[in-house]
Amino acid sequence: MKQHILDLLRQALDRLAEDGVLGDAERPEPQLERARDPAHGDFATNIALVLAKPARLKPRDLAERLVAALPESSEVARLEIAGPGFINFTLAERAYQELVPRILEQGHDFGRSRLGAGQRVQVEFVSANPTGPLHVGHGRGAAYGAVVADLLQAVGFEVHREYYVNDAGRQMDILATSVWLRYLELCGEALRFPSNGYRGDYVWDIAATLHREHGDDYRVDTAELFAALPPDAPLEGEPADQAGDKEAHIDALIAAAKQGLGDNRYRYVFELGLNTILDDIRADLAEFGVEYQEWYSERSLTERGAVNKAIERLRESGHVYEQQGALWFRSTDFGDEKDRVVVRENGQSTYFASDIAYHMDKLERGFDRVIDIWGADHHGYVPRVKAALQALGDDASRLDVLLVQFAILYRGGEKAQMSTRSGEFVTLRELRREVGRDAARFFYVMRRCEQHLDFDLDLAKSESSDNPVYYVQYAHARICAVLRQAAERGLAIEPSASATHLERLVEPHEQALLRTLGRYPEVVEQAALKAEPHQLTHYLRELANDLHTYYNAHPFLVEDSALRDARIKLILATRQVLRNGLGLIGVSAPETM
RNA sequence: GCCCUCGUAGCUCAGCUGGAUAGAGCAAUCGCCUCCUAAGCGAUAGGUCGCAGGUUCGAAUCCUGCCGUGGGCACCA
């Protein structure tokens, strides 16, 4: 509908331009907005105000010229110039009524478009280190990323969903070492677990697997091995007098593990930890309705020399220098606040170096657009990654980084962030178990991503209209109930084809519902282009409200068969849009509740 | 200290590429089930859009400063 009016406006502008009315000024794309006040019709444009100055006309005079130049359309019932020079469009009722057969015919495809014209977009999201289960913070990134990806796909982009697996690097060594130490404890060794180790129960579980399947094969004499370790930082309950460096301590422990186990056995423990956790993450996300096209291994990047290649390219283009034994990237040349190390004094490349290589690879794979979804705590990272792409001569504007703020759980009005048992974050799995997948998906995307999310667990679980998930789902179930009722009464529930009888939809509630239905494609488009799923959740709430209001005001299964036919078609169309919208945010549309 | 984010009704939030009288939901108060699921609907009330300047025909929206929230400022990942 909106596109149609825009077409009319463009044609009118063309005519005025031909007549020389507009002068030489650049012509902006006309802006067409939904009128806030019904008295202003359905759509309004400020184009006359914008063009008045270059055309050297008063806004209202220009508006009149424009209106005169607008082609006739059966969809437009009324045109009006208002206020300082807005042009208001009121659509014909028929234009709305014809939505119903269109929605029913297009079904699942209603609201989808080809706006993206098959452009390839990569969306990378979650990408949590495989050092433990996903927690509720990752859950928000997962839900948000999945919906953004689905929205983009719905408007015609070819979407590639990717998880970057940090399967190399120090954190993974710490995990492997933690698993091994727990294993040694299971073997009966007495040892002091490092302050920087991973302490979660899942580490014990992996260690138990190792112990069960391999007995004492991985056991070494710990006393000898750990004899010369530099001191650790004190654990809770330990005296703080001889505080050591926990980083140096854990690094020495890793080295000791590698030495004690030898390459093969160390690698086995490492892989066992990685695979166990990665499998868990995969299953967790799959149960959450989040699927990927690719799980991209950081290690593979290193193994085929991509990191070295990236560093070489930076070197060739003269953007790196050596200082104090390390290799630095001069990111300040590209707006970063300080230069960054890419190769450490000990010869190891940094995580940032891998990231440069990874992003270089993304662009080389030919995506038209690359979207990274990160936790907001990584925002300081954005300038340096963009700087690196610029230094490599790539187009950094192809990369968009979307930052997702933390989610804070509330239970009984109190923060419930920490789980009392382990002192760790609540896991995504625990959250899903508690509130269910539908509520979790909906609540996670209900707010703008840069907004801190207060996640009210009690509300998410409540079966009342306060709970937006139930509210929307109930609208869907209610329509299904009406159809079941019709079947029980032996009424024809197969609505007649085409637009027959739709002129009977004259009640204000029906007109309101039709207007909301007509907005759906615009909402999907905006939500997709701006990466704002919350627009869709807000819309669905409105649509459900229109339906509930209508339901309370008018019976659908009336004696008058023509009216009944029209009303059933209207609620069928509503059901379709509810389904489509819920589907896009990964929430089910139940037939009964 | 520097950088980023957010600050809108009692609470949680929309609205922010400048537009017409700032909107929802919850909570509060008052109503609506012999009728397709009351997991619903209606009504009332609720505002110095953090504060102060600036830009202009017009600012919640853009700019500057200040105040407050959260986060970031590693040869960690």
Q: Which CATH superfamily is domain A2-91 in?
A: Arginyl tRNA synthetase N-terminal domain (3.30.1360.70)
For residue A84, is pLDDT > 80?
no
Task: Tell me what pLDDT residue A144 has.
Answer: 95
User: Nearest nt (C1') to A381 (CA)?
Assistant: B72
Which bases of chain B come closer than 7 Å to a protein CB?
A: 2-6, 12-15, 19-21, 23-27, 32, 35-42, 57, 70-77
Give the model confidence (pLDDT) of A527-571 as tens digits.
999 999 999 999 999 999 999 999 999 999 999 989 999 999 999
Residue nearest to nucleotide B23 (CA to C1'): A36
For residue A458, is pLDDT > 90?
no
- Report the alpha-carbon distance of residue A151 to residue A121 in Å, rounded: 12
For residue A161, is pLDDT > 90?
yes
Give the model confidence (pLDDT) of A99-130 as tens digits.
999 999 999 999 999 999 999 999 999 999 99
B44 C1' – A371 CA distance, angstroms? 47
Q: What is A454-511 written as a DSSP string?
A: EEEHHHHH--STTSHHHHHHHHHHHHHHHHHHHHHTT---SPPSTTTTGGG--SHHHH
Task: Tell me what pLDDT residue A419 has.
Answer: 47
Of A44-58, A250-264, A279-293, give the lowest mean pLDDT range: A44-58
User: Percentage of chain A with pLDDT > 90?
Assistant: 58
B49 C1' – A171 CA distance, angstroms? 45
- Report the alpha-carbon distance of residue A439 to residue A432 in Å, rounded: 8
Residue type for position A330: R
- Report the alpha-carbon distance of residue A62 to residue A45 in Å, rounded: 13
User: Nearest nt (C1') to A247 (CA)?
Assistant: B76
Confidence of residue A232 (pLDDT cuts 50, 70, 90): confident
CATH 1.10.730.10 domain position(s) in chain A: 97-114+466-584
Across the range A343-351, mean pLDDT stands at 89
Of A97-101, A294-298, A386-390, A447-451, give the lowest mean pLDDT range: A447-451
Task: Tell me what pLDDT residue A74 has.
Answer: 86
Give the model confidence (pLDDT) of A499-509 as tens digits.
789 999 999 99
CATH 3.30.1360.70 domain position(s) in chain A: 2-91
Give the model confidence (pLDDT) of A411-428 as tens digits.
877 777 554 444 456 889
- Report the alpha-carbon distance of residue A494 to residue A509 in Å, rounded: 23
User: Nearest nt (C1') to A45 (CA)?
Assistant: B19
Contact A304, A354 (CB under 8 A): no
Rounded to a whole number of angstroms, the distance between the first and last alpha carbons of chain A is 34
- Report the alpha-carbon distance of residue A162 to residue A292 in Å, rounded: 6
Those residues with Cβ within 8 angstroms of residue A347's Cβ, 6 or more apart along the chain or in another chain: none
Give the model confidence (pLDDT) of A319-330 as tens digits.
999 998 899 999
Across chain A, mean pLDDT equals 89
Give the model confidence (pLDDT) of A169-218 as tens digits.
888 999 999 999 999 999 999 888 988 889 889 999 999 999 999 999 99
Task: Tell me what pLDDT residue A19 has.
Answer: 80
Residue nearest to nucleotide B6 (CA to C1'): A451
B27 C1' – A461 CA distance, angstroms? 18
Written as six digits, the tokens of A524 are 């999907």
B9 C1' – A578 CA distance, angstroms? 30
Task: Tell me what pLDDT residue A422 has.
Answer: 45
The CATH classification number of A97-114+466-584 equals: 1.10.730.10
B4 C1' – A384 CA distance, angstroms? 14
User: Nearest nt (C1') to A348 (CA)?
Assistant: B75
Contact A394, A341 (CB under 8 A): no
Residue type for position A588: S
Residue nearest to nucleotide B33 (CA to C1'): A552
For residue A31, is pLDDT > 80?
no
User: Nearest nt (C1') to A473 (CA)?
Assistant: B39
B74 C1' – A424 CA distance, angstroms? 24
User: Nearest nt (C1') to A553 (CA)?
Assistant: B41
